């Protein structure tokens, strides 16, 4: 591969911690290989900053293969950048041109407070999961044989598609209401579609939605931006399904 | 030798675990809330253990360095999880899985552990389905299976190419339930900095809050380390950027032996290196070898023309292609174990047939064209189309591929900018998994009492080579079905101990050590970044302790790493402060441990004068380039005792491996 290189200007949000004010800082970066991922480009910038004995830019990342959900970043006004169906770690510099100015900001949402620079706190997602995102089955390995209940392939496939959510928070960051309904809808749907999840379906949706509201996430107004920016292509059908589940549970729950 | 008591129960292999479970001590439910357990790492092993122990009623504290336990690197496992269910009626059994795993590990794993793993494999699938893990299913609604390397049955359960994600999210849901109930306290963005040992027993850890930089003391009656493998010692690997050896290494420094560090798995199907700024390598699941055929051109001039961009792989005719795995290993073909496939690819590239135009010309093809045609034809027939056109066959075939491997194909396209539905994937081996790790006995307890080690962090089940789809199996087996029993057995003697104070000289000393090492880095007046040193370490490791090793190279590596270590401490520059989020400081502390480990890996590889599994010593091969094991002299696990930062002074202890139930033989996949 004959790698091309480009020179770029970066405008990056810098903020020491959640108590101080932040601002956009400008950096020039030369000789960026177009085969590099966006995060490798940031590595290169940090290497440059360290060599100048300056403080490198903090950003979240881990697996760098688009599955752990740790990376984030608002790039040129879009969650996970200009490519579709991808996380920032799988965004490549071939999407940019020589001489481009690239704006890099953290996820912006009340429920995701900034930790430092581009790093935000998404533990609100964990708390929603803790409120009901599970099947209450203890470890035993002796529940019943895995093939005891056949599950229609279509249901299993839909449950899998919902379960493919990586919990990155792009849906929230991109939503003008800061809504987490795609994230919650995906989890509710996964279990609602499977026989194992049906037993607790009512409690689950009521508890998860209650926690979601407590965390300060906004409501859904069906703009559909979340579905467009979701790196895993989670469908907003899942929001509709959650709303149905929620309505059903609200009307029939005995609690 | 006195240090190593493997505590393998007596009796026939199939009864050992059952008998052992029946004879172990229990902790009554009313006593469990009085007992604290620390779990470090929230991947499959750690997450499953924390959830299960929480369910039992223990007070659990779980730690992960990521921002959420759901991000642990188990999530990136793609292809599947093995279980001896025999749903496909193709002759599978617990014994077969046991046998395949021992053989796959090239007869360097402990029989009793592996048999237990095979025994509980079926329970894992039952448990995960009960948790709502959406495995792939057939049209009849039952679970689907596929094949993985080193086996001749279909025992691999999967969820597209995201099996690790689905299993981890299953364990994470169980863990979340316990956190919600208050039985597990979760410490995310926390890194374990040291193990605290009091009177010979593990009694807690020192952790650093990665956001505030605060150094915290946590006490417990038992500590479980499930912190994953050490592949990042090579800098470039398929591991996550944060994956590190530090938790395991700190335990080693406090007295736990570290076994078989040189047993590293180089995975055959990864996307080749593209350049010097590359930060990590990406795996293309082994499951692709169910459908893809691996080849290079038969003629060197064709390979050269491809590298020069003058020829496309699709232009090379069938008779000019060398399907070298099918040629060399007809019985297993493209599904030979990973170490065998990796070496075969290296052999072709070393001989000048590589097809990738990078610095080293290293790359081979993984081609789906045959499978697309054959599955397309089958799909057409299933739809009642008995004379489908070529286009229709290709259309249906690609659809079939997309359903099985869609996310992998998409990932490949994003990274390489090439469409693998139209042109073969380019792949090359990369560091993926480490079979070595902290030495543990049958109970998964290290040589420090009360310190248990699970999952990839321990050394126990995969010998010198791990078979595909077995890591997920081991992680969950350890976490769900082994540790709850063996940790309870240990804790039965702790019900009278009472709360353990963190106000003790041992905690003081450990905390001071941690603070000293942090200050040392921050006050160092160096000039070079941590990555600068890490990349150099990686190059030494890849070139001299990589896919092929020899005496001279290993000796050089030991010297070079010693020199690198000195330079690192003298010249590393770590910006920022101790009391803030400081990723460079985190990296510096981890690389310091990688350097020590790297040297021990070379020393371990040097003492093992044989080739076995992933450990290939060039001096020990047969005429056809296959590994030559030496069972007479090396049928042992090499467990090293720490003796200061200079690994050349480490002491070797040997655990002789006994094969009572499997006849040891040369590994043959031909």
Inter-chain touch B575–A56, beta carbons under 8 Å: yes
Q: What is the mean pLDDT of residues A199-205?
A: 97
Does the residue B77 lie in any domain?
no
Q: Read off the CATH number of the domain in which B371 is found.
A: 3.90.700.10
Beta strands in B496-649 (DSSP E): 636-641
- Tell me the shortest Cα–Cα distance from A144 to chain B, in angstroms: 6
The topology (CATH level 3) of A5-105 is Ubiquitin-like (UB roll) (3.10.20)
Does the residue B589 lie in any domain?
yes
Which residue, B488, B496, B492, is CA-closest to B53?
A: B488
Average pLDDT by stretches of 10, chain B with 670 residues: 85 97 97 98 98 98 98 95 97 97 97 98 97 96 93 94 96 98 98 98 98 98 98 97 98 98 96 88 92 96 95 96 96 94 95 90 94 96 95 96 90 93 96 98 98 97 96 98 98 97 98 98 96 97 96 98 98 97 98 98 98 97 93 98 93 96 91
Give the pLDDT confidence score for residue B39 in this predicted structure: 98
Collect contacts of B562-571 with beta carbons under 8 A, ≥24 apart. B562/B599, B562/B646, B562/B648, B564/B533, B564/B536, B564/B537, B564/B540, B564/B595, B565/B595, B565/B596, B565/B599, B565/B645, B567/B533, B568/B533, B568/B592, B568/B595, B569/B520, B569/B524, B570/B524, B570/B526, B571/B526, B571/B527, B571/B528
Per-residue tokens: B42: 């929230």
- Tell me the shortest Cα–Cα distance from B496 to chain A, in angstroms: 27
Mutate to test the interface with B, among A30, A53, A146 (most CBs of B within 10 A): A146
Does the residue B496 lie in any domain?
no
Which residue, B433, B434, B339, is CA-closest to B626?
A: B339
Please report which confidence band the pLDDT of residue A1 belongs to, taking 50, 70 and 90 as the band edges.
Answer: very low
The domain covering A123-252 belongs, at the CATH homologous superfamily level, to: Alpha-helical ferredoxin (1.10.1060.10)
Element (H, E) at B559: helix B551-571
Of B369, B401, B431, the last residue of a domain is: B431
- In chain B, which residues have their Cβ closer than 8 Å to the Cβ of A197? 132
B406 and B289 in a common domain? yes
* Domain count across chain B: 2
B509 and B418 in a common domain? no
Give the pLDDT confidence score for residue B1 in this predicted structure: 44
Distances (CA, A) of B324 to A37, A145, B173, B297, B332: 32, 41, 44, 10, 12
B400 and B311 in a common domain? yes
Strand partners, B225: B40, B453
B518 and B384 in a common domain? no
Phi, psi of B239, deg, nearest 5: -70, 160
Of B629, B646, B662, the last residue of a domain is: B629
Does the residue B388 lie in any domain?
yes
Residues 6+ apart with CB under 8 A from A207: A131, A132
Torsion of CA A214, A216, A219, A225, to 10 degrees: -140
B412 and B293 in a common domain? yes
Does the residue B546 lie in any domain?
yes
CA B297, CA B295: separation in Å to the nearest integer? 7
Inter-chain touch B411–A150, beta carbons under 8 Å: no
What count of other Cβ atoms lies within 10 Å of the Cβ of residue B576? 17
Per-residue tokens: A189: 């749907």
Q: Are B52 and B483 in contact (CB under 8 A)?
A: yes
CB pairs under 8 A between A and B: 234
What count of other Cβ atoms lies within 10 Å of the Cβ of residue A26? 9
**So which residues of B are the catalytic ones?**
338
Inter-chain touch A141–B126, beta carbons under 8 Å: yes
Which residue, B369, B388, B185, B186, is CA-closest to B294?
A: B369
B511 and B607 in a common domain? yes
Q: Read off the CATH number of the domain in which B603 is found.
A: 1.20.58.100
Torsion of CA B263, B269, B271, B276, to 10 degrees: 20
Element (H, E) at B409: helix B390-416
Does the residue B664 lie in any domain?
no
Place of tokens 């798995």: B265
B409 and B273 in a common domain? yes
Phi, psi of A222, deg, nearest 5: 55, 40
Which residue, B245, B259, B256, is CA-closest to B202?
A: B256
Is A194 an interface residue toward B (CB < 8 Å)?
Answer: yes
Secondary structure tally for chain B: helices H, strands E:
18, 19
- In chain B, which residues have their Cβ closer than 8 Å to the Cβ of A2? 309, 357
Identical fold at A5-105 and A123-252? Answer: no
Inter-chain touch A130–B529, beta carbons under 8 Å: no
Of B399, B431, B463, the last residue of a domain is: B431
CA B445, CA B453: separation in Å to the nearest integer? 6
Does the residue B398 lie in any domain?
yes
Please report which confidence band the pLDDT of residue A3 belongs to, taking 50, 70 and 90 as the band edges.
Answer: low
Domain containing B541: what range?
Answer: 505-629
Inter-chain touch B134–A134, beta carbons under 8 Å: no
Residue ranges covered by each domain of chain A: 5-105, 123-252
Give the pLDDT confidence score for residue B2 in this predicted structure: 54
CA A1, CA B589: separation in Å to the nearest integer? 35
- Tell me the shortest Cα–Cα distance from A222 to chain B, in angstroms: 27
Give the pLDDT confidence score for residue B136 in this predicted structure: 96
């Amino acid at each position: 591969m004959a790698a091309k290189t480009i020179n770029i200007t970066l405008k990056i949000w810098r903020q020491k911690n959640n108590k101080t004010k932040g601002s956009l800082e400008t950096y020039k970066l030369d000789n960026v290989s177009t085969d590099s991922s966006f995060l490798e480009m940031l590595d290169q910038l940090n290497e440059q900053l360290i060599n100048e004995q300056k403080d490198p830019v903090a950003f979240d990342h881990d697996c760098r293969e688009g599955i752990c959900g740790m990376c984030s970043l608002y790039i040129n006004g879009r969650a996970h950048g200009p490519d579709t169906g991808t996380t920032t770690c799988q965004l490549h510099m071939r999407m940019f041109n020589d001489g481009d100015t690239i704006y890099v900001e953290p996820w912006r949402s009340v429920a995701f407070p900034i930790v430092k620079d581009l790093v935000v706190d998404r533990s609100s997602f964990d708390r929603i999961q803790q409120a009901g995102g599970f099947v209450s089955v203890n470890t035993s390995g002796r529940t019943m044989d895995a093939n005891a209940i056949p599950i229609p392939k279509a249901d299993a496939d839909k449950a899998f598609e919902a379960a493919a959510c990586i919990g990155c928070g792009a849906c929230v960051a991109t939503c003008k209401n800061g809504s987490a309904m795609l994230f919650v809808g995906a989890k509710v749907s996964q279990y609602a579609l499977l026989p194992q999840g049906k037993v607790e379906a009512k409690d689950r949706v009521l508890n998860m939605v209650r926690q979601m509201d407590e965390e300060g996430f906004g409501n859904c107004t069906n703009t559909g931006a979340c579905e467009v920016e979701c790196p895993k292509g989670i469908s907003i059908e899942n929001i509709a399904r959650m709303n149905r589940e929620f309505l059903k549970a609200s009307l029939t729950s005995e609690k | 030798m006195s240090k190593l008591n493997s505590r393998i129960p007596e009796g026939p292999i199939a009864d050992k675990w059952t008998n052992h479970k029946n004879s172990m001590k229990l902790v009554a439910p009313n006593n469990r809330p009085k007992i604290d357990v620390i779990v470090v790492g929230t991947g499959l092993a750690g997450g499953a253990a924390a959830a299960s122990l929480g369910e039992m009623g223990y007070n659990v504290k779980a730690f992960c360095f990521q921002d959420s336990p759901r991000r642990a690197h188990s999530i990136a496992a793609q292809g599947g999880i093995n279980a001896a269910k025999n749903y496909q009626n193709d002759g599978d059994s617990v014994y077969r899985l046991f046998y395949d795993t021992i053989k796959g590990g090239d007869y360097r794993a402990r029989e009793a552990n592996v048999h237990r793993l095979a025994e509980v494999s079926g329970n894992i699938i039952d448990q995960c389905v009960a948790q709502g893990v959406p495995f792939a299913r057939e049209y009849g609604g039952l679970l689907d299976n596929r094949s993985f390397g080193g086996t001749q049955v279909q025992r691999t359960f999967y969820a597209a190419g995201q099996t690790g994600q689905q299993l981890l999210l299953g364990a994470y849901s169980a863990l979340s339930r316990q956190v919600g109930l208050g039985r597990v306290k979760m410490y995310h963005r926390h890194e374990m900095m040291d193990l605290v040992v009091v009177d010979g027993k593990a009694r807690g850890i020192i952790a650093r809050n990665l956001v505030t930089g605060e150094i915290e003391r946590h006490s417990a009656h038992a500590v479980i380390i499930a912190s994953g493998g050490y592949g990042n010692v090579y800098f470039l690997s398929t591991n996550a950027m944060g994956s590190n050896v530090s938790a395991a290494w700190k335990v080693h420094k406090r007295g736990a032996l570290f076994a078989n560090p040189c047993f590293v798995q180089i995975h055959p199907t990864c996307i080749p290196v593209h350049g010097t700024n590359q930060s990590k390598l990406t795996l293309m699941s082994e499951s692709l070898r169910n459908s893809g055929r691996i080849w290079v051109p038969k003629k060197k001039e064709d390979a050269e023309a491809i590298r020069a961009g003058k020829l496309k792989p699709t232009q090379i005719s069938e008779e000019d292609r060398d399907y070298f795995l099918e040629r060399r290993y007809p019985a297993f073909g493209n599904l030979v174990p990973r170490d065998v496939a990796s070496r075969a690819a290296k052999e072709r590239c070393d001989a000048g047939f590589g097809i990738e135009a990078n610095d080293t010309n290293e790359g081979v093809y993984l081609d789906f064209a045959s499978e697309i045609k054959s599955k397309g034809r089958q799909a057409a027939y299933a739809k009642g189309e008995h004379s489908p056109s070529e286009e229709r066959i290709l259309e249906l075939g690609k659809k079939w591929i997309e359903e099985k491997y869609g996310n992998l194909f998409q990932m490949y396209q994003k990274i390489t900018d090439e469409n693998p539905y139209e042109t073969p994937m380019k792949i090359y081996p990369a560091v993926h998994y480490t079979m070595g790790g902290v030495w543990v006995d049958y109970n998964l307890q290290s040589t420090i009492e009360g310190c248990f080690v699970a999952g990839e962090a321990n050394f126990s089940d995969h010998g010198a080579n791990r078979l595909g789809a077995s890591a997920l199996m081991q992680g969950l087996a350890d976490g769900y079905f082994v540790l709850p029993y063996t940790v309870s057995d240990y804790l039965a003697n702790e019900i009278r101990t009472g709360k353990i104070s963190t106000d003790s000289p041992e905690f003081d000393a450990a905390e001071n050590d941690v603070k000293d090492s942090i200050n040392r880095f921050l006050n160092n007046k160096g000039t070079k970044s941590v990555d600068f040193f890490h990349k150099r370490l990686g190059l030494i490791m890849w070139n001299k302790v990589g896919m092929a090793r020899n005496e001279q190279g290993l000796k050089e590596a030991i010297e070079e790493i010693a020199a690198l270590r000195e330079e690192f401490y003298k010249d590393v520059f770590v910006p920022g402060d101790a009391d803030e989020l400081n990723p460079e400081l985190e990296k510096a502390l981890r690389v310091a441990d990688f350097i020590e480990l790297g040297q021990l890996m070379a020393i371990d590889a040097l003492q093992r004068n044989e080739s076995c599994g992933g450990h290939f010593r060039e001096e020990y091969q047969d005429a056809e380039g296959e590994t030559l094991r030496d069972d007479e002299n090396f049928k042992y696990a090499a467990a090293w005792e720490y003796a200061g930062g200079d690994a050349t002074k480490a002491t070797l202890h040997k655990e002789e491996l006994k094969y009572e139930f499997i006849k040891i033989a040369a590994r043959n996949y031909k």
